[in-house]
Chains A and B, each alone.
Chain A
């Protein structure tokens, strides 16, 4: 075989290998989850039991699914005004110069801070504030985690937005200005309708990020296995449950945690797929 052929096989082989890795991940999670699926069936998804007592073992994912969705959606709502401002600031108001390049670097650096450091900062700097405000006696909980998550996803939520905003055709904006529109009116009537789906796709991808975040949430959510009753209550997410309990788990508990991993994989997969779908429609 000559080197030309080897090279071509190498190129295709790398693609095949990546497909195999992805298939491997799905099958592995699936096989690992079979025992607990056999035991609990679909009830696993809507059961709120998490009882590791020997002989009366019973596991359900509902509190963690709710905890995951509530923390990440709340984080998205909290991040929205900031991410939207950054998108407009970098994409429309100030495109060049020192100030926007400063803001751009800050956003990049925010994305670089490890999750565990965010968790630490949340524990030592944010938690006392939450306690002082009287929102929660221990300062832990869904709200605390959501604030940290919101800061963590600002870079993801704002970057795609500023990109699509800067791509809005100049002629459209000029037409609006020539009719006497103010800048705010141009944003409202030209930029948002034009770049809206791209901005939205950015938020969906940021949501996917928030759903999978582990360390910061584990350190701040309070790790309660009950269904949270409000946004200041303690809770647990699927990711933080795995992080907390996987180490010493075996038997049914272990397979239940793998099944939760599978659910987490599926949920983030769907959310990311939606984000990419919106982006694709945009570029078409």
Chain B
């Protein structure tokens, strides 16, 4: 064996070693990223399960005194997060009522006019809206609704802020889904003499329903956990409030309140566990819908 083959053998070994090291490092780092998720889940379940019982869902959050007495007596803190659950349902529900129709119609418009000038502008604006920080939307909700319309913090202002947040994801998912539906479907309906709007609403939209629906659910799951915009708009409330012009609580707001009150610390974990459970369920539902009824032609 001459020296040149020895050298090239050594070099080959070096290259192969480098390749192996890189692969192992890659796998290690990729899976290390999943550690925080399990640590968070573990922590929430470990510290949160004790508080979750039936009264957790129908009683309002306790005040500091009640909680302090319970903690000193070594009892489970009384009360629940009913005011947060009702508030979240109302605020997120109203935000959805504003954002879903507008988002779907706008998504249809963009899918139908993929090359128009104005459509390009709208697409650009939707992209920009997607990047607006949630706290800025809180400021907007405050200036638009809290000051002039309801004259004080209100659930309505929170809904408006959150609806702007969920709008872009609905527009984009509708557009992407409708673009995947072949033109022949539309042409078939039109050639049978079905008017354009009926073709769009009765033929094209239903065939893309799975993609649109999963986009909508993802949009809802994204805003359900938002805290910052609600701090500037809905503010929070100790009682169950169904009046949308009054301050309202929401689960993320309650977590923030519990965090700031040392007596209520135990409640943080159960409220967070419940919120996370809610969001994970929404995420999984969206995924299941997208997978089960995938648009296929």
Contact = CB atoms under 8 A, between A and B. Distances in A.
Interface in A2-60: 3-4, 6-8, 10-12, 14-15, 17-19, 21-22, 24-25, 28-29, 32
B225 interface: yes
A215 B256 contact: yes
Contact of A242 (B128, B135, B222, B275): B135
B115 to A, nearest CB: 14
Interface string B218-242: 0001101111100110010000000
Nearest to A28: B143
B132 interface: yes
Contact of A11 (B37, B112, B132, B268): B112
A3 B37 contact: no
Contacts of A182: 15-16, 18-19
B22 A268 contact: no
B173 interface: no
Contacts of A117: 40, 44, 225, 255, 272, 275-276
A120 B231 contact: no
A103 B134 contact: no
Indicate the size class of the contact surface on chain B.
35 or more
A113 interface: yes
Given A117-B255, A182-B16, A25 B132 contact: yes
Contact of B128 (A118, A151, A269): A269
Interface stretch (B25-33, B52-60, B63-71): B25-33
Contacts of A15: 106, 109-110, 118-119, 122
A246 B222 CA distance: 23
Contact of A32 (B130, B138, B143, B167): B143
Interface string B91-135: 000000000001001101110100000110110011111111111
Contact of A185 (B19, B139, B221): B19
A234 interface: no
B15 A214 contact: no
Given A82-B29, A107-B33, A114 B109 contact: no
Contact of B23 (A8, A183, A242): A183
A21 B164 contact: yes
A81 B138 CA distance: 33
B197 A7 contact: yes
Interface string A156-191: 000000000000000000000000001111010000
B133 A212 contact: yes
Indicate the size class of the contact surface on chain A.
35 or more
B293 interface: no
Interface string B129-172: 11111111111101110000000000000000000100100010
Contacts of A7: 196-197, 200-201
A184 B129 contact: no
Contacts of B129: 18, 21-22
B36 interface: yes
Greatest chain A CB density within 10 A among B37, B135, B200, B259 is at: B135
A112 B283 contact: yes
B236 to A, nearest CB: 11
Contact of B26 (A12, A32, A85): A85
Contacts of A108: 283, 287
A121 B43 contact: yes
Contacts of A3: 195, 197
Given A4-B197, A11-B112, A89-B26, A212 B19 contact: no
A246 B130 CA distance: 23
Interface in A52-81: 81
8 contacts: A28-B144, A81-B29, A112-B279, A113-B279, A114-B276, A117-B40, A205-B131, A265-B132
For the complex of A and B, 4 pairs with smallest distance between CB atoms = A212-B133, A114-B225, A7-B197, A272-B131
